Chains A and B, each alone.
Chain A
Amino acid sequence: MREESQRAQVSLPAVEAAVGVLFVVAVAAAFAFGSPAGGVPREAQLDAYASDAATVLANESPQHGDSTRLAEVAASEAAFEREADALERRVDRILPDNLLFRVETPHGTVGYARPSTVPTGVATVPTGSGTVTIWVWYA
């Protein structure tokens, strides 16, 4: 009996209070982080960047043949091999410095590996020989 009385005993209300506080904090966190931030949504801005880059490239004159620059890279394997570096430099020049990009053509891709965890903007351009897709995301 005497030993039992020496035993420390966690107060039950304290345990209940801890659990209660945890619940309340969880709800508060939902309000703190879950509410949408104001302003221009990131995705909308990224989509605008992607479609701007696509429009600029789609209206640009080609390096050699075909009607536009994108039609030229999408045209054939050989044309893609020849133009890939120039296209990558050009997209890099067009986009602001804080953006990374990936351009996919029917014959290959240029740019960086696309991460799955960050918001991305996307634009597609139809060309005579297939679709060219441009992804951009914040570096």
Chain B
Amino acid sequence: MTESRGQANLPALAVALLLVGASVGVAVALAGGAFATADTDPRDARLASSLAERLVAADGPLAVRANVLSGAEVASASDDLCPGETDCRIRLDGETIAARGDPSRGETMRRIVLVADTEWRTIDPGLPGEDAVTLPRRTANATVHLDPPAGTRVTTVRANDRVVLHDPDGLDGRYDLSLSRYDTVTLAVDANRDLGAETLSVDYRVETTTKAILRVTVDA
């Protein structure tokens, strides 16, 4: 009976042991690989995200406000933006603004920013009658030039009824005003008689923003 039935157990056991042994080997190799590549202290990622965070913060080296970078600062950015001795590259929409070394194996953090370019424009209102001039909306900074004719005293300049300049002896010259970014400002001028057309001119700052992606790559 035993001869006719074919005893397959011994070779089967050998094959089975071989299979289990092989799969254990593969599993141990996988686990070893996982332990070897696991990064329990992701320095690159941490550095990249904190450097990106610093660059977009309101008091960052390139920033005007939170998430708004100054176009002029970006253009003149130096490679010292990279912290310490790390290899790093800071790119703004594909254009490298600061780099040190070759961080191509490092980690990248992306942030959304606006790049603000400012220019100054002048309005010369001519003061037709009411001695008031409305600036374009959301003007945050303005420089007022007052040049009253002899005998005319300009005592007060108001921005939306708030007194921003006052001198009972007469204002004359150049004054920087800091205005609210959240309001449209009307400047009104008080004087002891009608003002001539040449008395007041206002320089104001115009900001145009463009969207960009800031990419910070760090290889520590």
Interface residues of A (CB under 8 A from B): 1-2, 5, 9, 11-14, 16-18, 20-21, 24-25, 27-28, 31-32, 35-36, 38-41, 44-45, 48-49, 52-53, 55-56, 59, 61, 67-68, 93-96
Q: Which residues of B contact A (CB under 8 A)?
A: 1, 4-5, 8-9, 12-13, 15-17, 19-20, 23-24, 26-27, 30-31, 33-34, 37-39, 42, 44-45, 48-49, 52-53, 56, 65-68, 107-114, 137-138, 181-182, 211, 213
Residue of A nearest to B29 (CB): A28
Q: Which residue on chain B has the smallest CB distance to residue A2?
A: B4
Contacts of A1 in B (CB 8 A): 1
The A interface, classified by DSSP as helix, strand, loop or mixed, is helix
Determine which residue in A14, A32, A49, A68 has the highest number of CB atoms from chain B within 10 A of its CB, and name it: A14
A52-B67, A94-B112 known; A20-B20 Cβ under 8 A: yes
When the two chains form their complex, are residues B20 and A61 in contact, meaning their CB atoms are under 8 A apart? no
- Cβ of B48 and Cβ of A59 under 8 Å apart? no
Provide 9 A-B residue pairs closer than 8 Å at the C-beta atoms, listed in order of the A residue: A11-B16, A14-B16, A17-B15, A17-B17, A40-B45, A48-B111, A52-B112, A55-B67, A59-B68
Q: By the criterion CB–CB under 8 Å, are A14 and B15 in contact?
A: yes
Q: Is the CB of A59 within 8 A of B111?
A: no
The residue that A24 contacts in the complex, of B9, B27, B34, with Cβ under 8 A, is: B27
| A36 CA / B15 CA spacing, docked (Å) | 35
Of the candidates B19, B30, B110, the one whose C-beta lies within 8 Å of that of A17 is B19
- Among the listed A9, A28, A39, which residue makes an inter-chain contact with B26, where contact means beta carbons less than 8 Å apart? A28
Q: A56-B67, A68-B182 are in contact. List 17 more A-B contacts (CB 8 A).
A: A5-B4, A11-B8, A11-B12, A13-B12, A13-B17, A16-B16, A24-B20, A31-B34, A35-B37, A38-B38, A38-B45, A48-B109, A52-B112, A56-B112, A59-B66, A61-B181, A93-B211
User: Are the CB atoms of A21 and B23 closer together than 8 Å?
Assistant: yes
Query: Looking across the interface, which residue of chain B has its beta carbon closest to that of A14?
Result: B12
Given the interface pairs A5-B1, A12-B9, A93-B211, the reply to whether A45 lies near B109 with Cβ below 8 Å is yes
Residue of B nearest to A16 (CB): B16
- Chain A residues, Cβ within 8 Å of B112: 49, 52-53, 56, 94-96
A28-B31, A35-B38, A48-B111 given as contacts; is B20 within 8 A of A59 (CB)?
Answer: no
- Within the complex, which residue of A12, A24, A96 is in contact with B213, where a contact is CB–CB below 8 Å? A96
Considering the complex, give the chain B residue whose CB is closest to the CB of A21.
Answer: B23
> Do residues A11 and B9 form an inter-chain contact, with CB atoms below 8 A?
yes
Complex Cα gap A93–B209 (Å): 13
Please, which residues of chain B bring their CB within 8 A of the CB of A25? 23, 27
Contact of B34 among A12, A13, A35 (CB under 8 A): A35
